[in-house]
Structure 1
Amino acid sequence: MPIDTSSMAWQDAEPSGDTIIEKLMDVFQSNPNKAFHTRELTDKVADTSWGRVHEEERTGTIKKTEDDRADVMFDLMTTYRVRSEISRLEERGDVESRNVATEDSDIPHDWENVRYFTLA
């Protein structure tokens, strides 16, 4: 049910905070000479756990619990949302991307390329 923006409920409410786009732009502007892949950006702006998962995969110390299934679903849904916002930034010309070969990286997957993003 919608609320009236002149109501006390609306007037007394706190602003929702930074949007994902604002947070992404903060990351890019704070790191003008660096490029990031989507999971790195999602960890930075949305508190996901891809960095921990990546490290566990790299070191072979993966710990699976019942909560992991929910965590993975949250991370995947959040990553999809962040990736959509990155696409909007690309369309506006704020961000550029390149597919970077993974042969010399420590990315634990068998992907040949990973798309990295940086400030345009």
Structure 2
Amino acid sequence: MKRVYWMIPSLVLAFSMLITPVIHQVSAAEITEQDTSVQEGIDKVVAEIDTLQKAIQGNGELIKVNEAGKKIDEAWDLIEEQVEEKNPEAYKNIEESLYPLIGEAQKPSPDMKKIQKLIPETTEKLKDYQASLQQ
């Protein structure tokens, strides 16, 4: 009976050793997200918008358009909080066209004309904000 009592703490210790690397991976991902500079993040969002533009100009394949919308959203998520903290007004201005663009691109039946209208508007807002950061 005494053997069972020492096995339980051993199992708990072994389990905690298995979980520790997973906890550290999450922390590393959070650090990487914080280290992404706003400048680089804007470049990434603009690059993903260009990818969406090319998908539409190609044959407008739904899968590529939806995927591009998802990637734009992911790229924006990395810098969204930083932009909002640094300049709430610019943040609001950008999101007035960015979120409709992302939403439309991810729809089952996206309106390509609406996306074509939102792409230059959103790109201009992002580049204007990026230029303001360099001043």
Higher RCO (CA 8 Å, separation ≥ 6 residues): 1
Between structures 1 and 2, the one with greater strand share:
1
Using the size of structure 1 for normalisation, the TM-score is 0.42
TM-score normalised over the length of structure 2: 0.38
